[in-house]
Amino acid sequence: MKSWLQPPRLRIGEESEHQPRHATWLELFYDLVFVVAVSQVAHNLHDNLSLSGFLGFVFLFIPIWWAWIGTTFYANRFDSDDIGHRLLTAVQMVAIAALAVNVHHALGESSAGFALSYFAGRAVLVIEYLRAAKHIPQARKLAIRYATGFAIAACLWLLSAFVPIPQRFVLWGLGLLIDFATPLTAKRLQQGLLPHPEHLPERFGLFTIIVLGEAIIAVVDGVSQQKWDIQSAIAAVFGFSIAFSLWWIYFENIDGSSMRSAGATGRFSIYNVWLYGHLPLVIGLAATGVGVEHVVSSEAGVAMSDAVRWLLCGSVALCLLSLGILHRTGVIFKCKVRTKYRIGAAAVILVLAIAGIGWPPVVVIGLVAIVCAIQVVQDLYQSGKLTLE
């Protein structure tokens, strides 16, 4: 039987960093609520294919992603599987579920509910950091810094629920800026408290799987919404191919070596690149799923609309550009060649978006799939070449 009041424990340090560390069952269960939240915000974009719709999608996706980030980094350092922590996690799950419920009109009539839901989730995180500060002396300054910054941001979200639109959204933006800035102001306090180099890459990989799952769902939903024909079947195969290629070139290149080397050399900046560099990638992956669904469910013989073409091509290009940056900075396998291929592929896909006016959907998605598949082939070729050398 778990203890009710087992204090948080420090899960990092010289000894723990050399021990195998994987996501707990509670963390995996916690992720399920984000599957729903990501699905709901993607559905919002599906119903509003426009520049304003995409910007709204990004604006709502960021707090969902940041809520996951906050809990992940806390668990990485201070996870303790006592009943108190389980119950606090359950409260956070309820808050994220409420966030998902309010997503559909979060920029309108449900915005107050969205703000209160986000506040509730962050308030629980602040409580957990205060517990860590009380029970772990060597982490007290860092935990208090995080608790203070996150509490200020959470209060702005709480206050926003009681002011009218558009001032409400100004407070949201200010709150997110404080949330994002808080880890950056704690660089000195992270000395000796760097995240676990094995656990963190696994957790980011799991969230990447969540957003990649949207592309798979999109293929199924797109095909199920209309009668089977050759075009929809081919488009569905291409859509799956895009998701599979993006999965391949991300997970084939992630191993946590940058985390281990950062711990040895004291390069704290790599953790911030990990933290913020994944945001455009997961945004692009989630939006790609929406674009794929529109293509698969499109009518045969009708040219792809500008909105769908730019959503699909722009989202995949954003993914590839993000991967190129992650390669360049060494967050994933550091390689100048792969950096050039990723960025070059992003440029090619943007050219397709510009030149593809009037093209059939199956042609556009097919060309995008080919560009992504070339990335896989290039990685295999280079890996084989490196092995021979």
State yes or no: pLDDT of 341 exceeds 70: yes
User: Do 78 and 128 touch, CB atoms closer than 8 A?
Assistant: yes
User: Do 337 and 266 touch, CB atoms closer than 8 A?
Assistant: no
Instruction: Give the least confident one: 6-10, 13-17, 185-189, 356-360.
Output: 13-17
Question: Tens digit of pLDDT for each residue in 185-214?
Answer: 888 887 777 777 788 888 999 999 999 988
Per-residue confidence (pLDDT) for residue 148, from 0 to 100: 96
Per-residue confidence (pLDDT) for residue 386, from 0 to 100: 56
State yes or no: pLDDT of 17 exceeds 60: no
Question: Tens digit of pLDDT for each residue in 350-386?
Answer: 999 999 999 999 999 999 999 999 999 999 988 876 5
* Interval 275-296 mean pLDDT: 92
- Residue 262, exposed/middle/buried by CB under 10 A (0-12, 13-18, 19+)? buried
Question: Tens digit of pLDDT for each residue in 66-84?
Answer: 999 999 999 988 888 788 8
* Interval 264-279 mean pLDDT: 74
Per-residue confidence (pLDDT) for residue 388, from 0 to 100: 54
State yes or no: pLDDT of 18 exceeds 60: no
Q: Residue 315 corresponds to which tokens in the numbers above? A: 């989202």
Per-residue confidence (pLDDT) for residue 128, from 0 to 100: 94
Sign of CA dihedral 161, 162, 165, 170: negative
Looking up tokens 């990649």 gives 212
Q: CA–CA separation, 3 vs 18, rounded Å? A: 27
* Interval 134-147 mean pLDDT: 92
State yes or no: pLDDT of 173 exceeds 80: yes
Per-residue confidence (pLDDT) for residue 15, from 0 to 100: 47
Task: Of 243, 278, 325, give the one whose Cα is nearest residue 68.
Answer: 278
Q: CA–CA separation, 34 vs 40, rounded Å? A: 10
Residue environment code for 146-173, b if the CB has 16+ CB neighbours within 10 A, otherwise e? bbbbbbebbbbbbebbeeeeeebeebbe
Per-residue confidence (pLDDT) for residue 112, from 0 to 100: 96
Per-residue confidence (pLDDT) for residue 1, from 0 to 100: 43
State yes or no: pLDDT of 3 exceeds 70: no
